[in-house]
Amino acid sequence: MPTHRLCSENLSVGYENRLVLESVDFRVAEGRLTVLLGPNGSGKSTLLKTLARTLTPLRGRVLLDGHDIHHHRTREVAQRLGILPQSPSAPEGLKVRELVGMGRFPYQRIWRQWSQEDERAVSEAMSLAQVTEFAERPVDALSGGQRQRCWIAMVLAQETDLILLDEPTTFLDLKVQVDLLELLVRLAHERSRTLLVVLHDLNLAAAYADVLVMMRAGRVEHRGSPDDVFTAANLKQVFGLDAAVMRAPNTGRLVCVPALGGTAARGTIREETPA
């Protein structure tokens, strides 16, 4: 029986009296990469923030290591759980090494100076996320993909077993997205980290997730292995998407190919050859 260090019970969350999550029972599988999928506005970010204690539920609770997360001290939570929100922004001119160093805040004390342990964690995180070569450059002078890797390095420097990432691959080139997912899978499988990641790319989610969770309108609709969950019927129900699901010939993983809409389905427009 797998254990669950992070889970929610009967979680209802809302903003100004509008309920966004309704009675969500959720558990994050240990040492696995769980990917959260769902249409815009289905409540993925809200769930992530509530699991990380950034938002307080209206009803229900989040359990971290068996205790209500709201009964843990902030530092305790930060030593066990790291979260990277959507589109984070760094202060102007902040160097990469300084940003990554911010991941060490849960270990800082007034009486404890920056230690060799902090230095090691920052170097290792930069190396894992492949940003060492940018260490002395300002974060705001990097490309979107490089910057995103720096933020991930910051979360890694926190050295938590639980890592929550909200759309970490948005705006990245496909190759950079793939590299990032390879890194996340390695963290789960080789370093026993537990990852919960919101992704928008269906095919990358199906290719890399150990556990796939589909949300719609504030509820978890499907949860399981990609083979069980990534079906044409579920894509239609959750996203309203007409698509065929098949195995990619090169990877054997499931991929979806959306059906063509009316315009494109009528046929290819041929370019006129000038006489």
Is residue 40 within the footprint of ligand ADP (CB under 6 A)? yes
Among 28, 32, 35, 42, binds ligand ADP (CB under 6 A): 42
Q: How many residues does the chain have?
A: 275
Calculate the alpha carbon distances from 114 to 62, 126, 129, 150, 186 in Å: 32, 17, 22, 20, 28
Q: Both tokens of residue 144? A: 């979107």
Is residue 103 within the footprint of ligand ADP (CB under 6 A)? no
CB of 48 to ligand ADP, least distance (A): 8
Calculate the alpha carbon distances from 145 to 79, 154, 184, 207, 237 in Å: 26, 14, 15, 20, 32
Q: Which is nearer to ligand ADP, 15 or 114 (CB)?
A: 15
Q: Which is nearer to ligand ADP, 230 or 239 (CB)?
A: 239
Among 6, 20, 99, 255, binds ligand ADP (CB under 6 A): 20
d(CA 5, CA 14) in angstroms, rounded, equals: 24
Is residue 57 within the footprint of ligand ADP (CB under 6 A)? no
CB of 197 to ligand ADP, least distance (A): 12
Over its C-alpha atoms, the chain yields an Rg (Å, rounded) of 21
Is residue 258 within the footprint of ligand ADP (CB under 6 A)? no
Which region, judged by CB under 6 A, interacts with ligand ADP, from 33-41, 126-134, 177-185, 262-270? Answer: 33-41
d(CA 214, CA 236) in angstroms, rounded, equals: 12
Among 25, 41, 56, 242, binds ligand ADP (CB under 6 A): 41
What φ, ψ does residue 150 adopt, rounded to 5°?
-65, -40
CB of 44 to ligand ADP, least distance (A): 4
CB of 6 to ligand ADP, least distance (A): 18
Helices (H), 93-169: 96-101, 116-128, 144-157
Is residue 15 within the footprint of ligand ADP (CB under 6 A)? yes
Calculate the alpha carbon distances from 49 to 43, 44, 105 in Å: 10, 9, 19
Is residue 43 within the footprint of ligand ADP (CB under 6 A)? yes
- Binding interface with ligand ADP (CB under 6 A): 15, 20, 38, 40-46
